């Protein structure tokens, strides 16, 4: 195998997480030709990861450089490259809202917010300046409460951000900046599960911010940093009085 195809497979193996790489390798192994419909499902199942461009380039290189190769060979090649690579440990992942780049596989904000909420087993801390149009997230928060998670929601008074959480009422704790506080706005955007994972960035908990606006966030999986972040908000409420119950 020579030309662009090996390089494309190697680049794809570097970008794909392990479970997605296995899915791609399996699909290639059963594909009969470059435009087999089984390959279209790869992109359909992960539309937010910016992989359509890779599939187009791989199909073109396969057709132009090695049309005689069966999909089995490409699938095995991709799987082999993936196994020989030693991934660098990462404690942060990119998350976006709005348009996704075809060159950079990323997660969308709403899906990652749901994943972080679902990962909580003991505590869940949610901070946002505004909140509306998030019935699915509120349902996930309700599920977290059902499994015994203690939930604290920190929002600003000026945006009516408590309204989406009314169905949960006394089952969660809601906090606002206290009246007369030297700092008058809760502008942070954070979802922290226990002390192990946190999503933080520019997106408010609103339908447009989670889906349509151009927003950028990071999900952190470093308990040292996430723990300090959670402790900071606990300190704001328990020690300084900056945050008061809503």
Q: Hey, where are the domains in the chain? A: 4-84, 92-245
Q: Residue 83 has what pLDDT?
A: 77
The predicted model scores a pTM of 0.63
- Dihedral angle, C-alpha 50, 55, 60, 61, nearest 10 °: 100
The average pLDDT across 80-94 equals 70
Q: Residue 18 has what pLDDT?
A: 73
Centre a 10 Å sphere on the Cβ of residue 45 and count the other Cβ atoms it contains.
12
Alpha helical stretches, state H, the chain:
4-15, 18-30, 37-44, 52-65, 71-84, 109-119, 135-146, 207-211, 223-238
pLDDT digits (tens, 9 = 90+) for 43-64: 777 655 567 778 888 999 999 9
- Reply yes or no on whether the pLDDT at 244 is more than 70: no
- Reply yes or no on whether the pLDDT at 179 is more than 90: no
Q: Residue 107 has what pLDDT?
A: 77
Which residue has 């959480």 as its token pair? 165
Which tokens sit at 5?
């195809």
Q: How far apart are CA 8 and CA 107, in angstroms?
A: 21
The CATH code belonging to domain 92-245 is 3.30.870.10
Q: Residue 100 has what pLDDT?
A: 73
Q: How far apart are CA 224 and CA 181, in angstroms?
A: 29
Q: φ and ψ at 177, to 5 degrees?
A: -60, 130
- Reply yes or no on whether the pLDDT at 12 is more than 90: no
pLDDT band at 187 (very low <50, low <70, confident <90, very high): confident
The average pLDDT across 95-104 equals 74
pLDDT digits (tens, 9 = 90+) for 101-112: 665 666 789 989
């Amino acid at each position: 195998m020579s030309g662009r195809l090996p390089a494309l497979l190697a680049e794809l193996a570097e970008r794909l997480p392990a479970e997605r790489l296995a899915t791609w390798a399996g699909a290639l192994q059963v594909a009969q030709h470059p435009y087999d419909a089984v390959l279209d499902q790869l992109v359909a199942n992960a539309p937010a990861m910016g992989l359509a461009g890779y599939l187009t380039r791989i199909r073109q290189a396969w057709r132009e450089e090695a049309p005689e190769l069966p999909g089995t060979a490409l699938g095995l090649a991709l799987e082999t490259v993936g196994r020989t690579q030693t991934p660098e440990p990462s404690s942060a992942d990119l998350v976006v809202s709005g348009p996704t780049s075809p060159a950079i596989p990323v997660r969308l904000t709403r899906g990652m917010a749901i994943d972080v909420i679902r990962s909580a087993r003991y505590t869940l801390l949610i901070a946002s300046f505004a909140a509306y149009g998030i019935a699915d997230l509120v349902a996930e928060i309700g599920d977290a409460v059902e499994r015994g998670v203690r939930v604290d929601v920190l929002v600003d008074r000026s945006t009516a951000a408590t309204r989406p959480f009314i169905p949960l009422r006394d089952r969660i704790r809601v906090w606002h900046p206290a009246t007369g506080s030297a700092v008058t706005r809760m502008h942070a955007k954070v979802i922290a599960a226990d002390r192990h994972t946190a999503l933080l960035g520019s997106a408010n908990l609103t339908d447009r911010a989670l889906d349509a606006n151009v927003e950028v966030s990071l999900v952190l999986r470093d308990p040292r940093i996430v723990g300090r972040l959670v402790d900071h908000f606990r300190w704001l409420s328990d020690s300084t009085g900056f945050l008061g119950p809503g």
